[in-house]
Structure formats: structure tokens, C-alpha cells
């Protein structure tokens, strides 16, 4: 089936290369097992690092792994990509949903059509997805960020929570964890409303500046999505507030390194997105071969995983100025 140009202008496919001019090679590629990842939005460095893991999986597993994303973080555009993958009869689809509920019907449609569906990075727990792969407990990592920030600001002052899409399940759980963590500190006030920048880098920067200008007495930012911590770090730097405002969140070390080293950002709690995606592809491929994830198993290059109630967790890391140079993502 010919793919609509409007989808493929904003997506990228990865996998083993086909030798041009070789009919047998092309035919072999067409019959390879196909696992397709559908991320929230194209253009984020986080997404590019995830794609690296998909490329590694394609090479090592000898299968076709596609990595697709809409040009905007809109669930309708994600659904269009998934509908196309159903029509093309992909073996498996792995989704990081922009909207945990709106994506449910198309996931269930795929499953009914015999296409196995999984989630990674962000979940759709009310769907028929088979399992969800994450690098942290989505609530607990929010609690951990809140705890680290609370200690950094001496347990008092105004804190602004920043997130991406309002309907992204993983981000909302991060925020719930932050609220839970901050609830232990009666002298911390959460600024309302929370900021939602839709995982848009430019919007993240402008909204961070606006927040600091509107509330000059903010002493901390808790960031639930990858564009936010570097955006807030940049705003703090430009407004001369390094040392006066503390930042903890989820972000890539490569995007945040300069702000960690300058003190504009105190720390990050994250995972290697390439390893997350590589392991997910491997786990999905194993499932298609009839093998379930094993709780407590040690995976080379990943570490010890846990598996319970349809959720697979791989280990994460805490990143500060002291260890940021150890990470290449």
C-alpha cells in the first residue's frame, strides 16, 4: 500500500539497509518482521536519541524497525499514523501516546486486526496494549524530583511545576508524584496554574521567561518533560537568577549540560532514551517469539528489569554537574 506523503514528510524509518538494484534484497526486506514505534512529536532531541535505540535494535535483531512521529504533538496525527500501520499490517506497533484516552480506540482496533500493540515512554493503561515499558515508576520519579528540589530550596518558597501535553499519561503521573512529594512540605506553595508547553521547545522557553516575570519570587521549578529543564535554565541565566532559583526535572544531559555546570539547573532524573527504546524493541521482538518479560532478569547493557501487572521498568539515573560528562545522550 502506498503511504500518504503527508505522513512520511514528518516521519523517519530506520532499519537494515536494502541494497539498491537487488530484487532479492528488496524482497527479503519486505518479508522481515516489522516493529513500528510511534512517538509523540518529531523534532525533539529526546526523540532523536530514542531513534538511535531503534536503529541499534534493527541492526542487532535483524528485523525492520520503523520510528515515526507527527510534526505536532497532536493525538489525531498519531492516530493517522497508527491507522496507516494497521492497513500495512505491521507485526507490532509501539506507541508513546499524546493522549492516553483518545488513543484507546485505535489501539483496540489494531489488536482486533491482529497487530500487537505495546506502549513505551508513555502509557495508555485503559487500552488493550500488551505491556508498557518505562525507565522509572512514573509517579515515584515525580516524588523524587520534588524531594530533591525541596531540599535544594530549604523546604520553603514558591515552586512552579512545568509539563508538556495536558493529556500525556506519563507526564500527568510525574506531576501527581511531584504534588505528592511537595505535600510533605507545608512551607512550599505550588504556583497555579501549572505550565503546559506541549513539548514545544520555543514555547517552553517563552513560558519559562513569562513565569519568572509574573512571579519573581519563585524559588524553584519542577520539570516533568524533557524540553522544560533546559528552557528554564536558559530563562534563569538570561534573567540573572542563577543561584536564586533552583531547577530539577526530566531532561537530556546533552541539552542541559551547560546549565548544570553553571548552576542554573541543579539536577536531572532520567534514563538513556536509546537504551529504553532498544530494550523495548527487544522485549517486543521476544514477545512475538512467544517469550514474556521476566521480572528480576538482568539484561546486558540495561541492568535489572522489573515486570509486574503489564509494566516493565528499567533502571534510571540521577544526573548532576558532577557526573553529566559521563553521559553521551
pLDDT 10s digits, 69-118? 999 999 999 999 999 999 999 999 999 999 999 999 999 999 999 999 99
* Cα–Cα distance for residue pair 311/140, rounded to 1 Å: 14
Find the range with the poorest average confidence among 4-13, 46-55, 241-250: 4-13
Same domain, 252 and 144: yes
**Does the structure show a pLDDT above 90 at 19?**
no
For residue 62, being part of any structural domain is answered with yes
Q: Please give the pLDDT value at position 29.
A: 56
Tell me the pLDDT band of 135, cut-offs 50, 70 and 90: confident
Quick check: is 322 in a domain? no
320 assigned to some structural domain:
no
Same domain, 276 and 127: yes
> Of 173 and 16, which is predicted with more confidence?
173
Whether 184 and 144 share a structural domain:
yes
Least confident stretch, 15-24, 125-134, 160-169, 314-323: 15-24
Residue 328: the pLDDT is 85
Q: What is the pLDDT of residue 17?
A: 29
Query: Domain for residue 57, yes or no?
Result: yes
Question: Which range among 29-33, 56-60, 63-67 shows the weakest confidence by mean pLDDT?
Answer: 29-33
Residue with grid cell 543561584, as numbered in its chain: 243
Q: Could you list the residue range(s) of the whole structural domain that residue 28 is in?
A: 5-134+272-314
Q: What percent of the chain has pLDDT over 70?
A: 91
Q: Residue 88 contacts by C-beta under 8 Å, 6 or more apart in sequence?
A: 1, 3
Bridge-based pairing state of the strands 306-308 and 311-313: antiparallel
Half-sphere exposure of 286 (CA within 13 A, CB side): 13
| Range of lowest pLDDT (11-20, 216-225, 275-284) | 11-20
230 with 293, same domain?
no
- Residues 78, 157 within the same domain: no
On whether the CB atoms of residues 167 and 135 are closer than 8 A, the answer is no
- 54 in the same domain as 148: no
Pairing status of strand 116-120 against strand 132-134? parallel
The neighbouring-strand residues paired with 94 are 37, 118
- The answer to whether 317 and 270 have CB atoms below 8 angstroms apart is yes
Q: What is the mean pLDDT of residues 133-138?
A: 92
Q: Convert the pLDDT of each residue in 229-258 to its tens digit.
A: 999 999 999 999 999 999 999 999 999 999
What rounded mean pLDDT belongs to the chain?
91
Model confidence, pTM:
0.81
- Residue 24: its pLDDT value, please? 43
pLDDT, residue 136, reads: 87
Q: How many domains in the chain?
A: 2
pLDDT in tens, 212-222: 999 999 999 99
pLDDT at 3 over 50: no
| Residue 324: inside a domain | no
Same-domain pairing of 13 and 76 = yes
Indicate whether 282 belongs to any domain: yes
Whether residues 130 and 145 fall in one domain: no
CATH number at residue 154: 3.40.50.2300
- Please check whether residue 276 is in contact with residue 96, taking contact to mean a CB–CB distance below 8 angstroms: no
Contact 282, 85 (CB under 8 A): no
Same structural domain, 77 and 127: yes
Q: Do 112 and 91 fall into the same domain?
A: yes
Three-state DSSP class for residue 220 = strand
Among 270, 286, 301, which residue terminates a domain?
270
The answer on 221 and 117 residing in a single domain is no
Residues 6 or more apart whose CB falls under 8 angstroms from that of 252 comprise: 45, 46, 49, 226, 230, 270, 273, 329
Model confidence at 21, in pLDDT bands (50, 70, 90)?
very low
**CB of 194 closer than 8 Å to CB of 188:** no
**Among 190, 173, 213, 164, which residue's Cα sits nearest to residue 47?**
164
Are 324 and 261 spatial neighbours (Cβ–Cβ below 8 Å)? yes
Q: Spell out a b/e string for 96-118, using b for 16 or more CB atoms within 10 Å of the CB, else e.
A: bbbbbebbbebbbbbbeeebbbb
- pLDDT tier at 153, thresholds 50, 70, 90: very high
**Neighbour count for residue 289 (Cβ, 10 Å):** 8
Task: Say whether both 199 and 292 belong to one domain.
Answer: no
Amino acid at each position: 500500500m502506498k503511504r500518504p506523503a503527508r505522513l512520511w514528510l514528518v516521519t523517519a524509518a530506520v532499519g537494515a539497509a536494502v541494497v539498491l538494484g537487488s530484487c532479492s534484497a528488496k524482497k527479503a526486506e519486505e518479508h522481515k518482521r516489522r516493529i513500528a514505534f510511534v512517538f509523540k512529536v518529531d523534532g525533539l532531541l529526546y526523540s532523536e536519541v530514542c531513534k538511535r535505540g531503534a536503529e541499534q535494535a534493527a541492526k542487532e535483531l535483524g528485523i525492520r524497525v520503523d520510528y515515526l512521529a507527527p510534526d505536532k504533538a497532536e493525538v489525531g496525527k498519531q492516530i493517522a499514523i497508527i491507522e496507516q500501520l494497521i492497513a500495512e499490517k505491521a507485526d507490532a506497533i509501539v506507541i508513546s501516546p499524546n493522549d492516553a484516552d483518545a488513543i484507546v480506540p485505535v489501539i483496540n482496533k489494531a489488536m482486533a486486526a491482529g497487530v500487537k500493540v505495546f506502549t513505551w515512554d508513555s502509557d495508555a493503561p485503559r487500552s488493550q496494549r500488551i505491556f508498557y515499558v518505562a525507565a522509572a515508576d512514573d509517579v515515584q520519579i515525580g516524588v523524587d524530583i520534588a524531594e530533591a528540589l525541596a531540599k535544594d530550596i530549604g523546604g520553603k518558597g514558591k515552586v512552579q511545576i512545568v509539563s508538556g501535553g495536558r493529556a500525556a499519561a506519563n507526564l500527568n503521573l510525574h506531576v501527581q508524584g511531584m504534588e505528592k512529594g511537595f505535600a510533605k512540605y507545608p512551607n512550599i506553595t505550588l504556583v497555579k496554574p501549572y505550565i503546559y508547553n506541549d513539548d514545544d521547545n520555543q514555547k517552553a522557553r517563552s513560558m519559562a521567561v513569562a513565569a519568572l516575570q509574573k512571579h519573581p519570587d519563585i524559588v524553584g521549578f519542577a520539570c516533568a518533560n524533557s524540553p522544560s529543564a533546559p528552557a528554564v535554565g536558559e530563562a534563569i541565566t538570561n534573567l540573572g537568577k542563577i543561584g536564586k532559583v533552583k531547577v530539577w526535572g526530566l531532561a537530556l544531559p546533552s541539552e542541559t549540560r551547560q546549565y548544570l555546570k553553571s548552576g542554573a539547573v541543579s539536577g536531572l532524573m532520567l534514563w538513556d532514551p536509546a537504551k529504553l527504546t532498544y530494550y523495548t524493541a527487544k522485549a517486543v521482538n521476544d514477545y512475538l517469539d512467544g517469550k514474556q518479560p521476566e521480572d528480576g532478569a538482568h539484561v546486558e547493557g540495561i541492568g535489572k528489569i522489573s515486570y509486574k501487572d503489564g509494566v516493565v521498568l528499567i533502571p534510571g539515573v540521577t544526573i548532576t554537574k558532577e557526573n553529566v560528562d559521563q553521559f553521551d545522550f
